[in-house]
Chains A and B, each alone.
Chain A
Amino acid sequence: MRNLSNSKLEQKLGKIKALWRKANAFAEEAYNAPYRSAIARAKREQDDLFMLMVYSELMGIPNPVSFYTLELQPLMLERFHEWHIRMGMEHSPLDNIRCC
C-alpha cells in the first residue's frame, strides 16, 4: 500500500520535472531565437579573424603576431641565450637577433 503511494508520488514528481524541463526548453528558445543570428554573426566574424591569423603567412600576409612578440625580446634575452647554448648552437642562430 505504502509502496504504491510512493510510486504514485514519484510519478507525479516525474511529471512535474518533465513539465519544468519542457517549460525551460521553451523559455530558452524564446530567449535565444530573437538574437540567434546576431550572436552567430558576431562569433563568425571572430572565427574568420582567427582563421586569417592562423593562415596569414601561408597566404603571404605578414603575421602581426611575430611583430608584436618582438617587443618581448628584451625580456627573453637571457633565456634565449641559455636556449641556443642548450640546443648546441654557440651563437645566436638568427641573423637579425644577435646574442653573444
Chain B
Amino acid sequence: MNAIFVLIAGIGAMALGYFVYSKFIAEKIYRLDPNFRTPAHEFEDGVDFVPTNKYVLWGHHFTSVAGAAPIIGPAIAVIWGWVPAFLWVIFGTIFFAGVHDAGAIWASNRNKAKSIGALTGDIVGKRARSLFMIVIFLVLLMVNAVFAVVIAGLLVDFNSAVIPVWGAILVALIIGQLIYRKLVGLLAVSIIGVIALYSLIGLGPIFPLALPETFLGLSDRAQWIVILFGYAAIASLLPVWVLLQPRDYINGIQLFIGLILLYAAVLIAGPEMIAPAFNTDVPEGTPSMIPLLFVTIACGAISGFHGLVAGGTTSKQLDKETDARFVGYFGAIGEGSLSLAAIIAAAAGFATLADWQAVYHSFGQGGVNAFVAGGANILSNGIGLNVDLAQTLLTVMAVLFAGTTMDTGLRLQRYIFQEWGQIYNLKWMQKAAPATLLAVGACLLLAFGAGGADGSGGLIIWPLFGTTNQLLAGLTLLVITVMLVRLGRPMYVTLIPLLFLLTMTVAALIMQLKTFYAQENWFLFGLDIVVLIAAILIALECASVLNHLRKGDEKLE
C-alpha cells in the first residue's frame, strides 16, 4: 500500500476523533464549562498560576509530552507488521490518549490544579498515592536509562550527528544569554538559532566524529552513556534559563520543522509500505503481539507521563476550562501524528523487504535507528536531501528530544531523592549535588545492567518501560473514573480503557517475566517483579474502589 493512503487515513481518523469524539467527551462527559473560574484565575500569582493563551499552552503541553518515546515505541512495534502498530496508534490516540490527557487536565482543574499524584491521594486514597509515587520513580528511572542507551546508539551509528548534537547545546547556551540580557528580540533570536542549528547539521556529515572503540575497557557506546549522564547531571543542576529553557524552545521549533518536512516528503515521494502489513514470519524470540504491542507503544497511543504534565503545570495555566479539549485532546493528536510519521518511516523507508528484515532481525531491534534510516530515505526521495544530511537531521531531532527528556527526568528524580531525604531526615540527601549523584548512579546501574551498554541486546528493556508508563496512565484513568461516578456521569469512556490497559500490562509483565527467566537475565527479572507487584496492587486498588462505588459507598478509605 502507498504510504500516502496510510498518512491520509491516519490523519483523517484522528481529525474525526477530534471533531466528533472529543466534542462528545468535552460536552457530555466532562461537561467543560466556559464560565468555570479556573485555578489560573482563582489563584493567579504570576508564578505557578498564570492564565495562558491556549495556543501557547498547547505548544508547551505538546512539546513537553512529545519526546523520543513516541518515535521509538512504534518503530520497534513495526516488527509485528505495520497495520497493528498503525491501528493501536490511531485508535489509542482517539479513544485512550485524548480522553486521558483532556481528562487529566479537567480533573486537576476541578481540584485546585493539584497534581495527579496529590489527586490520587485525595480522591482514591493514601495507598493509591504511595503506589503512584513508586510508579513515577520507576518510570523516571527507566526513561533516563533507556534514553541514554538510545542516544549512545544513535551517536555511534550516525556519527555525523555528533557535532550538531553537542553544537546545539552551545547554540542554546548562547541563545539563553542573548535573551536573558535582552540583547535581541525573540523572533530574531529564533531565526538565528534555527539557522545556526541547521548550519551545524550541514557541517555534521563533513566532519563526523567517533570515540575510540574501547577506552579504559569501555566500549564506545558505554563511553557515550557515561558522558551523557555527566552532561545530564550538570544540566539538571544549572538554573533553567541557562540551558533548559532555550534548548526546549529550539527543540519545539525543530519538532515542527521536522514533522512538516517528513509529512511533505511522504506526500511528494509517495513511498510504498515495504514492511509486511501483518508479519507472519517474525524473528525467533519475538514475543506474542498481544499483549506486548500495547506496552511497546505507550507514548503515541496512551502515556501516563502526559498526566504528570497535565496536572503539574498545564492545569495551572488554563485560561478557560473549555481549552482543556484543545490543549489535552489535540496535544495527544499531535503526539499521535509523530508516531504515525515514525511508523511510516520505519515501514516505508526501506528499498526492499530484505533490507527491512535485515534491520528487524530480532525483537527490540529497529527502534529509533530504523526511524532515522527509513525517514532519511523518504526525505531524500521526497525533497531531494542528500541521504547523509537527512540522516543527520533526523538523528539530531531524535537525540535532542531524548536529551531534553533525560535532563528533565534527572531533575525530577533528584527532587524525589531530596523529598526522601526530608521524609527520612537524611540531611545529606536533601542537598542537590548528592541527590543528583544518587539519581545518576541508579540510572547508570540500570543502563549497564539492562545490557544496553554494549549495544548487542537492543532495547530489550523498552517494553518494561512501557508497562510502568501504562500503569501511571491507569492510575490517572482511575482518578477520572472515580470523579465521573461521583458526579453521576457515565464512566465507560474511561473505565473501558482502564480495564484494557491493566489487563494488557499485567499480561505483558507475566510474559516478559518468563522471557527474562529463560534468558537468565536476573537484573531485568527482578525489575519485572517489582513492576508486576505494583501492577497487581493497582489492579486490586481499582477493584476495591470500583466495588465501593458500585455499592454507592461514598467513603473509600
Contacts and interface: CB of A to CB of B under 8 A. Distances in A.
To the question of whether A and B form a pair in one complex, the answer is yes
Interface of A: 20, 23-24, 26-31, 33-42, 44
A42 B241 CA distance: 11
Contacts of B50: 33, 36-37
Given A24-B186, A39-B245, 4 more contacts: A30-B249, A36-B50, A37-B50, A39-B239
B105 interface: no
A23 B249 contact: no
A29 B187 CA distance: 11
A30 B60 contact: yes
A37 B244 CA distance: 14
A50 B74 CA distance: 51
The size bracket of the interface on B is 20 to 34
Pick the most buried of A28, A29, A37, A44: most chain B CB atoms within 10 A of its CB.
A37
15 contacts: A26-B53, A27-B190, A29-B53, A29-B56, A30-B56, A30-B249, A33-B52, A33-B56, A36-B46, A37-B47, A37-B50, A37-B316, A38-B240, A39-B240, A40-B47
A26 to B, nearest CB: 7
Interface of B: 46-48, 50, 52-53, 55-57, 59-60, 64, 179, 185-187, 190, 239-241, 244-245, 248-249, 252, 313, 316-317
Given A30-B59, A31-B179, A33-B56, A24 B187 contact: yes
For the complex of A and B, 3 pairs with smallest distance between CB atoms: A40-B47, A24-B187, A27-B186
B187 A20 contact: yes
Contact of B313 (A27, A29, A37, A44): A37
A23 B187 contact: yes
A34 B60 contact: yes
A28 B186 contact: yes
A26 B239 contact: no
B46 A40 contact: yes
A25 B109 CA distance: 27
B245 A26 contact: no
A29 B52 contact: yes
Given A26-B56, A44-B47, A35 B186 contact: no
Contacts of B179: 31
Contacts of B248: 34-35
Contacts of B240: 35, 38-39, 42
A35 B47 contact: no
Nearest to A20: B187
